[in-house]
Amino acid sequence: MNWPVVLDKNFIATVRIRLNHVPIERRQTWDLDNLYVWWFMASTEDPYLNRLTQQSDKWSQVKSLCADLIGPQATYREVATLTQVR
């Protein structure tokens, strides 16, 4: 039986906050390929994300977590800083 993966709220917040650091004008032109490149770079640069990525494949969750933050439907969101999350 496949159990659904429950994501840590700190992981979700960290990913979304880091992505929101990319200017909205740039993210509005992105597709999933651009998001994947961003995720690859972010997960290798951030020790927290890197550690979590090594534990399992998070890319499939990142795609759905960030769908509203890329492409033409992306809107500016006020977000907390990383220090407020961890």
Three-class SS of the chain: CCCCCCCCHHHHHHHHHHHHCCCHHHHCCCCHHHHHHHHHHHHHHCHHHHHHHHHCCCHHHHHHHCHHHCCCCCCCCCCCCHHHHC
Asked whether residue 75 is assigned to any structural domain, the reply reads yes
Asked whether residue 2 is assigned to any structural domain, the reply reads no
Q: Check pLDDT > 60 for residue 12.
A: yes
Residue 48, pLDDT score: 81
* The model's pTM: 0.73
Asked whether residue 59 is assigned to any structural domain, the reply reads yes
Instruction: Find all residues with CB under 8 Å of 56, minimum gap 6, and list them.
Output: 5
Asked whether residue 34 is assigned to any structural domain, the reply reads yes
Q: Considering Cα of 55, then 8, then 31, then 76, what sign does the dihedral take?
A: negative
Domain carrying residue 65? 28-85
The pLDDT tens digits for 19-66 are 989 998 999 999 999 999 999 999 888 888 877 665 567 777 888 888
Q: Check pLDDT > 50 for residue 2.
A: no
